[in-house]
Structure 1
């Protein structure tokens, strides 16, 4: 039946680190299923050139040369940050060779994350040298910067916003060699002029088919050695967070699939061998009642304990309560990623996240009692937040049963906050990543950002220890941890030097080298405000003051 071949690919990325377990290309698999539903003339193949191809080292890009003093050593200690810059995925040459072997009629490339737009362009350039087929781009970054992407000589088309309906209508126009002006969301070139068609609604969310993962075996993507599948229950974000641009892709109108459709997809994946499901929604629990009912359906239709559910894209604690947490736990949820952003009410108001801190405490304590593994994310370096305010949030979370998720602020293209800055250059977009530590403010400098980031590593070291008693003084905790061997013993050795010599060391081979940009005075400003450290298991590390050194309280 198939007459044409459409190849959809996920490109590699280049950075200091890789998020290895969140790479299943569900967006491309949605596109594949939708095209094959409406246009059976097309054979659609999805290729993942990011996951499963290993990595190789790269020279540090010139735009990031200032990071050499911060990421100075191949540190093997528990408190290391970054060191080597990598290419994660297939080489551009290998991609071009593989694409040419497929002989596609059209090629689609996903451009999800703004700082990796250059990798998308490199893919397009390499492919065009080997195979002359139209290249179309889509994804969140294209929705934010369609003109910058379309301007590149190797890019023929772009799609803004949700891609299913625009791609189908584009393919129809392409087959019929008709005018592209009526294809919604499409960007194209006419006589060297860039044309961006108006945006239009996508298909109704329940009319979208289940994503087609048939190009990948169930064991391609794993979480703790079990087959992992992404699931999306909704699209659209009703919140208007100042640091986010997701509305440019999915809009502000919240649309949720029916629970029957979601359950059908889970059952289909279950029979295909998947046992771990990560809900990648931006707002999984926004419709509280619908989420309660979904949990009840999961409990009624699957063997107890057979499935594990995650929400690694994060949950708004605003939409969680005691009843929903209990139901989610019974259904098989094990991890909660919460976004606090800041404990400072005025900062939360400015970033349009005016959620109650009291409610945050309720959610954290109830979730911890239920046995959830909790990560709480704080943004370090928001433009109007003082250093004292950032420290206060860090101290608050250090004393709660959560792991600390430190997210260093960067300007997301298209976000409301980015509009308050001069127009972003290509270099600015490239540096829109946590590892770049690119934004300094009157309140916080790069040394401070680095120090607070490493401080979260130190505090998480304590939080990850398993204590035999509900409450233990720090001296006993360090003594017991020192006996464990490996990196734990190494961490204790470095901590003793930090407390006694007021210097943090990296482990390089068998040697210890000072971490030069770590501001020890700032570390002790945080440390001296801690009354205790709460581990992930809810146990308390006390008597911290005897390790405070000679630095005064902040």
Structure 2
């Protein structure tokens, strides 16, 4: 059967990406790719399908944070207009739950699938399910994604959820729809969780796709492509592999987790998907959403050569924003990346501390990263290098040294505050050590969820230092970095109408006095609560290196 428009046409199955409640949202990275993959299999099995993307709207509203996040006012309580500010308002991003419920009622599906990927946002998925049942009680609701896969019983505790599908939904969603249509038994549906009258829950094992090429190409026609445009051109996401062969302890998808083994699509399959997308719209940006894109050098070069040959005249920008494994890259590969359309290298570093890397079960990639950064500079590419801080057992002083290390290199810094990803090895470590947050809502980086060898105030300080460092790098690129502050007292007021100039003045005060400051709407300068010892260590470390920008070159 044909795909429905997703606006008002009646459909058999409706798939929903819920709205999100958070301090920030990277809107261009919320393409409901997984739902498009599931939709394609449903269509292949004769069902009409629609996707309601609860995030595909450029609006948000300020709301009160949940009680579990109430103590974050100590970190985000004052609005800050500086160019290196963190967060302030907690917001509901996307459509209201009522709007989504009304959309379901319009389309009258017999089955509604709701995506619940991240545990921190499981509450929004549950509220979406309740709204769906209020507006269209005739349907059945099934929830899938990483959260219900790890927490099936907790998910089924929501009265509006009829089923959970654990694992990857392409292999089970169509079978569930067929079973409901034909009123047959559910036990044969892979990954199914459902209530048995008088017998408790039936909990199936997660279902995984063995051969990724065996499934149809994602039904991206159902995605609201206009919302995800960049610079008035199409912006798409592509996933070329699932799982990960590495054993990083913080990851819930790798070999140290309960996730399925690493599987990769063929180059032909990926190119076929790109052709469908490129023929349907003027694509200008492609984000490959898997960090193992370059692990197989021959496979990666074949993909890059195919893109260059087929789309070399399309002025594409390619990115791999999850971060690539530096040892898998060399100058030849990076040259081919630039030829295909990469303009920025996103590189995963983790840490430079050998003890912490041993805890992460991750190799030291610092030498490989330096080689990648040298190639990026030679070829005129920018770079972003990713660190992790505030993990269990991690020394915050070493995290400062990681920041200084990247400060001396031609790269932006992407600092992620650790959170315990359910299903990962480190999640179990946190559970054993009594470090897990009490509530699901706290399982997010913005909540500074773990207080172990790095305290929450130290984690907030590290995040502020990373933001400040990136701003200093931008000033260095423009030849406008203050070398020191004015001798004497600190500023008490700046002009907030020119954020960059105001920020430069605060950088001068930071270098002179060691204070991290914010700017209120009336121009008053105020201090953020930070760890003085970490700030002092950062400044002394920075004094011992030559700060490098991001766009500058020594060549």
**Residue 547 (structure 2) pairs with residue 529 (structure 1):** no
Provide the residue aligned with 1:64 in structure 2: 69
Question: In the alignment, which of 116, 124, 143 is matched to residue 119 of structure 1?
Answer: 124
Compute the TM-score of the two structures, normalised by the length of structure 2: 0.90
Whole-Å Cα distance in 2 between the matches of residues 157 and 166 of structure 1? 12
Secondary structure of the residue that 1:455 maps to in structure 2?
Answer: helix
Whole-Å Cα distance in 2 between the matches of residues 289 and 250 of structure 1? 28
Provide the residue aligned with 1:261 in structure 2: 269
Provide the residue aligned with 2:182 in structure 1: 176
Provide the residue aligned with 1:465 in structure 2: 475
Where structure 1 has 5 or more consecutive residues not aligned to the other structure, the ranges are 541-554
Whole-Å Cα distance in 2 between the matches of residues 130 and 219 of structure 1? 27
Q: How many residues align?
A: 532
Q: Give me the CA root mean square deviation.
A: 2.5
Provide the residue aligned with 1:550 in structure 2: none
Instruction: Report if the CA contact (8 A) 2:119-2:440 is conserved.
Output: yes
In the TM superposition, what whole-angstrom CA distance separates every residue of 1:49-106 from its partner, at most 9, and x where no partner exists? Answer: 1121510111132211221121121111012111100000111112112211111111
Instruction: Report if the CA contact (8 A) 2:166-2:207 is conserved.
Output: no
Secondary structure of the residue that 1:283 maps to in structure 2?
Answer: coil
Question: In the alignment, which of 443, 446, 450 is matched to residue 432 of structure 1?
Answer: 443
Provide the residue aligned with 2:195 in structure 1: 189
Alignment of 1:388-403 (within 5 A): 388-403=397-412
Alignment of 1:370-519 (within 5 A): 370-422=379-431, 427-441=438-452, 443-465=453-475, 467=477, 474-475=482-483, 486-519=498-531
**Residue 133 (structure 2) pairs with residue 139 (structure 1):** no
Alignment of 1:147-158 (within 5 A): 147-158=153-164
In the TM superposition, what whole-angstrom CA distance separates every residue of 1:406-454 from its partner, at most 9, and x where no partner exists? Answer: 111111111101112337878442111111012111x321211111111
In the TM superposition, what whole-angstrom CA distance separates every residue of 1:235-294 from its partner, at most 9, and x where no partner exists? Answer: 221112111112599944222222122112212211212221111124111211100011
CA 1:430–1:277 in structure 2 vs 1: closer, same or farther (change >3 Å)? same
Compute the TM-score of the two structures, normalised by the length of structure 1: 0.90
* Deviation of 1:473 (Å): 7.6
In the TM superposition, what whole-angstrom CA distance separates every residue of 1:483-522 from its partner, at most 9, and x where no partner exists? Answer: 9x82210111212333445433211112324234123442
Provide the residue aligned with 2:317 in structure 1: 308
**Residue 166 (structure 2) pairs with residue 160 (structure 1):** yes
Where structure 2 has 5 or more consecutive residues not aligned to the other structure, the ranges are 3-9, 487-493
Instruction: Report if the CA contact (8 A) 2:58-2:94 is conserved.
Output: yes
Whole-Å Cα distance in 1 between the matches of residues 178 and 380 of structure 2? 51
* Deviation of 1:166 (Å): 1.0
Whole-Å Cα distance in 2 between the matches of residues 284 and 522 of structure 1? 36
Question: In the alignment, which of 8, 11, 15 is matched to residue 8 of structure 1?
Answer: 15
CA 1:199–1:387 in structure 2 vs 1: closer, same or farther (change >3 Å)? closer
Instruction: Report if the CA contact (8 A) 1:413-1:429 is conserved.
Output: no
Provide the residue aligned with 2:247 in structure 1: 240
Instruction: Report if the CA contact (8 A) 2:485-2:509 is conserved.
Output: no
CA 1:153–1:162 in structure 2 vs 1: closer, same or farther (change >3 Å)? same
Secondary structure of the residue that 1:148 maps to in structure 2?
Answer: helix
Whole-Å Cα distance in 2 between the matches of residues 153 and 473 of structure 1? 57
Provide the residue aligned with 2:279 in structure 1: 271
